[in-house]
Amino acid sequence: MKEVLILQESKGKIKSPSDLFKRIKKIKVDYEQENFLLICLNSQNQVIKSKILFKGGLSACMIEPQTLFREALKYNSAHIIIAHNHPSNNLNPSSEDRDIFEKLMKAGEVLNLPILDSIIFNKKEFYSMENEK
């Protein structure tokens, strides 16, 4: 009997920030307030889980690193990506956005749970903090 091996790529695999933004657009986000998303990935960058983890107001969202990493570890994530919207539609990262991204990156390194990117988005566009490096 001849065996045939068919390799199929997972529909949830993230190869670029554009792939991620397509995925984010499928999540029901309240664009009138800030929403912070966690995207959990396996070692092949396939999405395990994506969810809105925190909600804030018009211009800020309280982020608890303990909650974020506990949630990522709960799903046995190999990597994570974080994302949030700006209700103002301005995609430029604030100094607070940069600060929290750096702090979370350092925490992820300690836990051996790297953060691959931080995305800021609105309904039509996105900004990748990893692309600015």
Q: pLDDT tens across 65-96, in order?
A: 999 999 999 999 999 999 999 999 999 999 99
**In this structure, are strands 79-85 and 47-55 parallel, antiparallel, or unpaired?**
unpaired
Residue type present at position 85: N
Which position has the higher pLDDT, 85 or 57? Answer: 85
Decide which of 3.40.605.10, 3.40.140.10, 3.90.1150.10, 3.40.50.10260 is the CATH code for 18-128: 3.40.140.10
CB of 21 within 8 A of CB of 29? no
Burial (CB count within 10 angstroms: exposed 0-12, middle 13-18, buried 19+), residue 72: buried
| Dist CA 11 CA 107 (whole Å) | 29
Beta bridge partners of 38: 51, 82
Task: Look up the pTM and report it.
Answer: 0.86
Q: How many other C-beta atoms are found inside a 10 Å radius of the C-beta of residue 52?
A: 16
Tokens read off for 6: 């068919």
pLDDT tens per residue, range 7-31: 333 456 888 888 889 888 888 888 9
